[in-house]
Structure 1
């Protein structure tokens, strides 16, 4: 049996996981001298590269001093917690990265809790020790306190600590040592990570932890072998989570090294491989020895907390910018997404309407962003939290919210969150002019708050949250304070008209943008909606004045990104998404219908 170590790199978002994996790949000699390697090589998806975040957990393998080290890079964002949870079951140890300045953050707590429950003894890597505001000793104490709070065992509390600056490619076991390379980290991994349990002699037990899809070979399950061996062309039994057994043949067996995938003939205990040949394979399924199938426990995946309605675009500009506009195409694409993304699900709820359930706004935004880049055109409704009924009581998801803000804005933040039913649990001065605030808040209260929060803190605040639990429904939450400026005409916007409307609020359009009746073209300065005419041009007259016309000065419009638009809209509005534009519109385009509906709602209240 080969000498193997299986580790996952876990941390809060932006603490340097992917950068560390990059350096491990480079310094282990995985890339040849002439091979060109880009930064954050594990972030393969366009959106991951642009935003600098990891969305999908990915695995790689390196060989160091004759030992095969399988590394899984995981997302740090709470919305992708489902990805992290599964991965932790596949490894024997975790590298817990903590930023030397920020210390323990909400997502750190989430991943640590999962890792400790599974019995892992983490290797703690204090990263970014080169930061001027870094305080590695304080952060080690924070990590110890966190482990203690989470009920860690004596052995888990004796965790090894490595100090690193992943970007500069060095690690050390003592802060006084010189900055050289990552050898101290490699040595710690070889000494501290347990070897895989199990044996090649036992019957096959392999469990799938993530999915991939290939147009030629179909669904691919990426899995860890806990016992036995598997070979290309072998007949094995697939055991589903509900106990159903399906016999099938392994049509392709794929191994990993660096960023490459290649076909292999056979693999044994402790290996992480990709297996093809089973169309119904899913996360948590086991592949077993047909003579004596002994499946592993199915995985528990955290349930979705947010739902959004995707629908066919029916605005007057429908079909003018997108390539795929029919409900069949949207259905196909959502189905393909669910093939590989198990933290989401969807159902058809009407003609051309699909309800998509996910773990958070970011996760749903990324699906929508990917779809628009592929040429899809559709509309999205306002995100809603999924309310459950437990023992006859309406329960809603609550989140643990952590905010780091400059001291002078903390009062305004506390007031704003109080109106959204947030309950403050902790307030700690962080030094250097910052305060950390901790809240428990209904997930509904977080919808639409990010933009307001950034405005309130002048872009200097940092906000993070992770799912806490379901609690009894907490009544109504304050929503948007401002009304919408709604176009009452179809056509192209005119500079003269926009100039005259600027005093009414913030405009979202510029001259020559296409507008239609019922489209939201700006944010009203008051609380009510206002119908306006943005296509009215200046009339010519017979009287010519001696003075020239006054020059109009236009304020640049606020450009709405997909995330801003989803946060901003109310119940009666939709976001129209096309490969070229993101527009906000009223659900009912006819102003008379809107007035009648508003009267009914008022009457009902």
Structure 2
């Protein structure tokens, strides 16, 4: 059977996964009476809750005698490590662009990787049936983007279709029949070249592992594209590292191929196909699985380095161990090492004491998803404020800078520009009013300046602004950036909060919790209205007497507290604070300091 391997790439929420749903339906993958779910490729709980793709996943459809392997990729740059590996498995890309928004920052990130590999793109202008759609403008912007990214003449001569993934149609022209996706299927078969590896069927077997998975019955599974030769079940192969060192020799216990949404065992893997192998115990992502006579490893696609780091430690608060059952540093370390094995964009380092671990990655969202997964598995953690990773270049300290694209109402553009160019040391690159009351602002801002800014941005724009960011380059260090201005309210007692005490504290600032909640000494319960920290007593009850007065015995009415999400809490804390994460709670607290450390800090402040 003819083969085509293609990846679908796009910015967050431009409709990749919805389009794959329709491709599966219209190719006859489902039985006539089979129950189906929306966004079938988003199988992870967090993916379905947040409406984003986090893990790259493959599927397969048949169209007029041709098998098309389709890889659904994440749209967010924080999960770019998934995209960089996946693109080495395919021979073409299907770039989805929202007809109203046009190419966005993440579109640029993924497209640059695809063009650099020489992949020929197909452009799908999606959501053309929206009221504010401008498909011709979006298409012109895609061409300009390709030209700016250094696309070849062949890549610039890209075919395109107009589509609505939700409605399940694609046409070569805007005024087409709008019936089905046949035009897109035919274009993929015609434009994407068959795998070149198919011509190397007589050579020894070689496969580059790009994703690592596991199955409770089969064990470890490595997925990749067969680069040459064929492989049968029970064949003996070996695994080579990137440098060509032999890792292990093993017998292939199972070969699985993608058929629709499931994987089915097959007897033989052929060159060019995307398959999963089982039987190995040590081999991992970026290793080469090959025949015993092969001595050279396949080149692995380099992964962009991490830009931020977060310290994961044990939860040593007075409430530790009440929610989760995985609280030891050894268990936390094993879980983080397992994550680093399958996610090549994450790096783990031990701290000198061994009680905490420095986890480096791409961004706050990637860290937030990892922490959320761990708390759902029963872990209790203490998390530090994210820190930007610096590097030395020719004796100069360099820091990462991100390109920020902001869509905001005209009336708020002044406040946004003031914050990102003034307080946060950013450089304004572009400012384009669209004439309908919206302005698009593009700026280059140090990553340090963006940590914790999103909440402030939503406040400044009354919740109407949209901000997207992506790593741009390394630049010389831009000097100190002011952090959070307000201090915090810190509990000075252990116990359960009292409504009367909280009611009296509302004049001091906004609270992060309500009545009848457990607190402890050093726990942050709110934000102070001034710039200094303030220790308060949230347990102080009303003094009762046998005298009554008009109005003094009314029920206490508390203002609704500000409940922080995990990402908001991590971005909010300062360097001397921690986020306590358990399966049921997210708390903020001051970092515990030993007496010597307290004296050093006091001398420094003096």
Q: Could you tell me the TM-score, scaled by structure 2's length? A: 0.97
Equivalent positions of 1:257-406 (< 5 A) are 257-349=259-351, 350-406=353-409
Deviation of residue 44 (structure 1)? Answer: 0.7
Q: Deviations over 1:15-49 (max 9, x none)?
A: 11111111101110101111111100000110000
List gaps (5 residues or longer) in structure 1.
Answer: none
Deviation of residue 526 (structure 1)? Answer: 0.9
8 Å contact 1:222–1:272 — kept in the other structure? yes
Corresponding residue SS for 1:226: strand
1:212 corresponds to: 213
Paired residues, what number? 601
Equivalent positions of 1:166-565 (< 5 A) are 166-198=165-197, 199=199, 200-245=201-246, 246-349=248-351, 350-418=353-421, 419-545=423-549, 549-565=553-569
Instruction: Using the TM superposition, name which of 458-467 and 537-546 deviates more.
Output: 537-546
1:153 corresponds to: 152
2:592 corresponds to: 588
Deviation of residue 595 (structure 1)? Answer: 6.9
Q: Deviations over 1:81-102 (max 9, x none)?
A: 1111111111000000000011
Give the whole-Å Cα distance in 2 for the aligned partners of 1:286 and 1:570: 44
8 Å contact 1:213–1:340 — kept in the other structure? no
Q: 1:580 to 1:292 in 2, by over 3 A?
A: closer
8 Å contact 1:205–1:294 — kept in the other structure? no
The runs of at least 4 consecutive aligned structure 1 residues that moved more than 4 Å come to 592-598
Give the whole-Å Cα distance in 2 for the aligned partners of 1:478 and 1:573: 16
Deviation of residue 290 (structure 1)? Answer: 1.9
Deviation of residue 193 (structure 1)? Answer: 0.7
1:4 corresponds to: 3
Corresponding residue SS for 2:587: strand
Q: Is 1:132–2:131 an aligned residue pair?
A: yes
Deviation of residue 341 (structure 1)? Answer: 1.2
8 Å contact 2:242–2:298 — kept in the other structure? no
List gaps (5 residues or longer) in structure 2.
Answer: none
Give the whole-Å Cα distance in 2 for the aligned partners of 1:294 and 1:368: 38
Deviation of residue 547 (structure 1)? Answer: 5.6
Give the whole-Å Cα distance in 1 for the aligned partners of 2:192 and 2:603: 65
Q: 1:557 to 1:593 in 2, by over 3 A?
A: farther
Deviation of residue 149 (structure 1)? Answer: 1.1
Give the whole-Å Cα distance in 2 for the aligned partners of 1:498 and 1:479: 27
1:602 corresponds to: 605
Instruction: Using the TM superposition, name which of 184-193 and 245-254 deviates more.
Output: 245-254
Q: Aligned-pair RMSD on alpha carbons?
A: 1.5
Give the whole-Å Cα distance in 1 for the aligned partners of 2:391 and 2:70: 37
Q: 1:58 to 1:339 in 2, by over 3 A?
A: same
Give the whole-Å Cα distance in 2 for the aligned partners of 1:190 and 1:459: 44
Give the whole-Å Cα distance in 1 for the aligned partners of 2:150 and 2:369: 35
8 Å contact 1:588–1:594 — kept in the other structure? no
Give the whole-Å Cα distance in 1 for the aligned partners of 2:4 and 2:587: 50
8 Å contact 2:285–2:341 — kept in the other structure? no
Deviation of residue 336 (structure 1)? Answer: 1.9
Give the whole-Å Cα distance in 2 for the aligned partners of 1:294 and 1:491: 64
Give the whole-Å Cα distance in 1 for the aligned partners of 2:449 and 2:552: 52
8 Å contact 2:219–2:278 — kept in the other structure? yes
Corresponding residue SS for 1:179: coil
Q: Deviations over 1:456-501 (max 9, x none)?
A: 1111111111111222211111211111010111110000011111
Equivalent positions of 1:101-112 (< 5 A) are 101-112=100-111
Q: Deviations over 1:163-214 (max 9, x none)?
A: 1110111111100112111111111111111111022122222111111123
Deviation of residue 280 (structure 1)? Answer: 2.2
Instruction: Using the TM superposition, name which of 313-322 and 293-302 deviates more.
Output: 293-302
Equivalent positions of 1:6-155 (< 5 A) are 6-155=5-154
Give the whole-Å Cα distance in 1 for the aligned partners of 2:567 and 2:43: 22
Q: Could you tell me the TM-score, scaled by structure 1's length? A: 0.97
Give the whole-Å Cα distance in 1 for the aligned partners of 2:440 and 2:551: 59
Give the whole-Å Cα distance in 2 for the aligned partners of 1:374 and 1:110: 32
Deviation of residue 389 (structure 1)? Answer: 1.6
Q: 1:176 to 1:322 in 2, by over 3 A?
A: same
8 Å contact 1:219–1:281 — kept in the other structure? no
Deviation of residue 218 (structure 1)? Answer: 3.2
Deviation of residue 150 (structure 1)? Answer: 1.3
Q: Deviations over 1:226-248 (max 9, x none)?
A: 22111111112322102112432
Q: 1:117 to 1:548 in 2, by over 3 A?
A: closer
Give the whole-Å Cα distance in 2 for the aligned partners of 1:332 and 1:373: 16
